[in-house]
Each structure stands twice: as structure tokens, then as C-alpha cells.
Amino acid sequence: MFHATGTVLEKTSMEYQHAWSSKYVFIPVLKYIFERQHRGHITFSGDKIPSDESAIVISNHQSFSDFYMLHSVAIRRNMLPHVKYFAKDSLKYIPFFGFGMWLMGMIFIKRNWTRDESQLKKIFKTIKAYAAPIWIVNFVEGTRLTSRKLLESQRFAKERGLPILRNLLVPRTKGFVACVRQLRDAHVQYVYGIRYYFYIFLTLTQVEDNLESLLYLDFTIAYRHITQGFQFPPNLLQVHSYSPLSPPWSFHVHVRRYAIKDLPQEDEKLSEWVRQIFVEKDALLEDMKTRWTQSDRLDGVKEEKYF
């Protein structure tokens, strides 16, 4: 599906392979280990997301646990087999995990815009041509959040006159702008914006079938640990060995919805819009540090049982 060269049969076979592996490998892992066996308790708030809807998804990036949070939404909307990620090209060479990323249908890029732009155009051309269900996930911060990277990001923002964020990195907007530009007239109707926080909180945005009302979905994910506090997610080893996960961890997902047709048309204004969304999400995370799901910025906090 995502190889710009090759026959229709090869693309169809690859899409089937990815969908099969996601449906019959990653879904059982998510279902049995995280939520069922290890009892990771996730709450949700914000707008609704219909099932079976294609979208662009943007997200902040904290740890490997972010995938479990994103998949907790995708599986409830029948989209888990169709989730595709942008990922650094070098990651595909990591033993075992690289193969797993390939099975998940990740879109590998070199983060060199001159080299990536032409490849992305080919990928989006294929996506539009075959119109298969898809969530295209882009971690717009470009890397996982750490204390060191946050300080570097804040220095960068100060030098450039950008808003200084307390819980997020300055978003790298080129990839997001390219996605929106390429898919404005395609079957992908929405953008989901996702952020990860420790207490585990996530934001979801609703999706619809009307091609004229494409949406940007803003996901905010947060984690909370009873002793380590906010922005402290379980690592991969803890996810697979710690039971129960809740407590000590709490997880939350929040959703906001924006129509793609209402987003700015000019690239620079679209970049500014993304940065403003991050300012608003940063304020939400800051409030959640002390108030968690009692924050006035949240609405309709609920559970959504699946397993």
C-alpha cells in the first residue's frame, strides 16, 4: 500500500499483510496484556470519534507506551489494522522491533526534507489512488520528550520568538503541513492531534464521512503515577511484566475536533495554527498536573469498556 513503486497486487498484498498482522498480532497484545491481563485503566473525554473513518493523526511523543494509548482509541473505532506511523528510517534496522514496525506499516522517512518530500508525494499519491482506510500518525515533535530535550526546545523557542512550552516540544510542522496539503481533496477527511502526558491523558477528535468536512483530531494523552507523578509512563518492560498497571498508573485520553476545510490554506499560517494548538494543549497538561481529570478544561470524562 505504501510502496510508491510496485504493482497493484504488491500494494494490495502489503496492505493485507499489515492489516492481518495488526489485527491478529497487535490487537491481542493490546487486548490481553495492557487492558485485560495487566488491567491498565483508561478514561476518555472530549468529542466523539465515529468508527471506520480515515484521518491524519498528530501526536506528542513520550515513550513506547504512547502506542498503547493510541491503539486504545483505534481498536474502539475499528481502525487498529489501518494505523500507519511516520518513523525514522534508522529504526527499521533495530533487531526485532524494526521488523515489528514494518509489520505495523510504518512509513519510514530520513528526516531530510529535500529527500523525504518526493517520497512522501509518491506515498500520498498511492494512498489517494487506492482510498483504503487509514490513520496516518505523525509525532510532530519529532522525538520523545525528555528533560534535556525540553530545555533545548525552550531555548530554541526563546531564540526564535516562539511560545515557550512547559510540557511539550516545539512542533516540527513541515510533515504535518505536507500531509494536509496532499490530502485535502482525498478520502482522508480528518486530522487527529495526539499528545501524550504522564498520568496518561489523551485527546480524541471526531470523524465524519463528508469529504467537504475534513477534520483535524487533536488527541491529548496523559499518564499519572501515584508516587512518581505526572509525565511518568510505564516503560515497555513494565507494560509487559507489571500487574496491575492501574494502580499505580492512571491513563486518560481527551479529544478535540477541527475540520480540515477550516484550516489555513497558506503553509506558514497552517504552521502557526499547529503551534497555537500546542500552546492550548500545553495549558491543558499544566492544569492536569495538579487537577488530573478534574480539570475544568476537560468535559465528559468517562470510561469506554471494550474488553
Confidence (pLDDT) at 38 = 92
Using the CB atoms, write b or e for 30-60: b if 16+ within 10 Å: bbebbbeebebebbbbbbebeeebbbbbbbb
Confidence (pLDDT) at 21 = 56
Q: Are 305 and 72 in contact (CB under 8 A)?
A: no
Length of the chain: 307
Instruction: For 178-225, write each residue's pLDDT tens digit.
Output: 777 776 665 555 665 544 333 333 333 333 333 333 456 778 889 999
Q: So where are the chain's domains?
A: 8-82+114-303
Confidence of residue 306 (pLDDT cuts 50, 70, 90): confident
- Greater pLDDT, 169 or 115: 169
Give me the percent of the chain exceeding a pLDDT of 90.
Answer: 30
| pLDDT at position 236 over 70 | yes
Confidence (pLDDT) at 164 = 97
Q: Which amino acid is at 148?
A: R
| pLDDT at position 177 over 50 | yes
Rounded average pLDDT over 50-55: 82
| pLDDT at position 6 over 50 | no
Q: Are 201 and 168 in contact (CB under 8 A)?
A: no
If we measure between CA atoms, which residue out of 5, 8, 46, 20 comes closest to residue 258? 46
- Greater pLDDT, 150 or 121: 150
Confidence of residue 254 (pLDDT cuts 50, 70, 90): confident
| pLDDT at position 147 over 60 | yes
Rounded average pLDDT over 277-296: 94
Rounded average pLDDT over 242-246: 93
| pLDDT at position 42 over 70 | yes
- Greater pLDDT, 20 or 156: 156
Give alpha helix (H) positions in 161-226: 174-183
Q: Which helix H or strand E contains 47, and what residues bound it?
A: none
Confidence (pLDDT) at 116 = 67
